[in-house]
Amino acid sequence: SQQGEEDPQALSIQEGENATMNCSYKTSINNLQWYRQNSGRGLVHLILIRSNEREKHSGRLRVTLDTSKKSSSLLITASRAADTASYFCATAPNTNNDMRFGAGTRLTVKP
Amino acid sequence: DAGVTQSPTHLIKTRGQQVTLRCSPKSGHDTVSWYQQALGQGPQFIFQYYEEEERQRGNFPDRFSGHQFPNYSSELNVNALLLGDSALYLCASSFGDLAYEQYFGPGTRLTVT
């Protein structure tokens, strides 16, 4: 069964704007990861945030984690057309890394 | 440094048949996880192999089985295929039993007719 739930399901923005995607989950976690997927191909790992971390940055990406609310957000700043993809959050309930994915947010960045 | 590779890329099978999918992990990785992704959905965890043993298993029937070889590569076998098994099958590799990021292969697109 799926653990995470992304919101919104779809997001359409103009190039240069920021995109924010949210993820909620149900059980306690060891870590939360964000992935990108282009057109039904393999997933690309973006960033991992551990349960004892609150915020993490990687280039134009900023991820926050609120374990009290069981939620995370992914912010992509200064979006580009190449950022068009589906974005998934995945949680690991334990250290064995059996990831539980949400249904994803479909991001479209218009040039 | 080769990433995760999967074969075949595409596969078409008939209901009731059996299929074997293959995965080679990223260099230096020893753990392989398999996921099923139906169209428009997120990946669903099937099982994970570490030290040639199934360590974790998701909510999938026994028709789904796997194997890990001494070189860490892995196979996913599905018996008695159903139409609902049509999906993208993703393999991911990681290192050890710690919660490091997983690296995914390009997937195998299975179509059951």
> Which positions ≥6 away from A15 have C-beta within 8 Å?
A79, A80, A81, A109, A110, A111
Sheet holding A61-66, edge to edge: A5-7, A19-24, A71-76, A61-66, A55-58
Contact between B110 and B89 under an 8 Å Cβ cutoff? The reply is yes
pLDDT of residue A29: 86
Burial of B16 (0-12, 13-18, 19+ CB in 10 A): exposed
State whether residue B24 is helix, strand or coil. Answer: strand
pLDDT of residue A1: 46
The answer for B 81-100 residues in CB contact with A (under 8 A) is 88, 90, 92, 94, 97-100
Instruction: Tell me which residue of A28, A69, A75, A83 sits closest to A47, measured CA to CA.
Output: A75
Q: What is the DSSP string of A48-73?
A: EEETT--EEEETTEEEEEETTTTEEE
Residue A15 distance to chain B (closest CA, Å): 24
User: Residue A36 pLDDT more than 80?
Assistant: yes
Please identify every stretch of chain B with a pLDDT value under 50, giving residue numbers as ranges: none
Q: CA–CA separation, B22 vs B108, rounded Å?
A: 9
pLDDT of residue B73: 97
* A66-99 per-position pLDDT tens digit: 999 999 999 999 999 999 999 999 987 766 667 8
**Chain A residues whose beta carbon lies within 8 Å of the beta carbon of residue B100:** 48, 97
Which chain A residue lies closest to B103 (C-alpha atoms)?
A45
Q: CA–CA separation, A94 vs A14, rounded Å?
A: 38
* B44-71 per-position pLDDT tens digit: 999 999 989 998 899 999 999 999 999 9
- Residue in B43, B97, B107 closest to A101 by CB: B43
Two tokens at B2? 């080769």
* DSSP state for residue B13 in the 8-state scheme: E
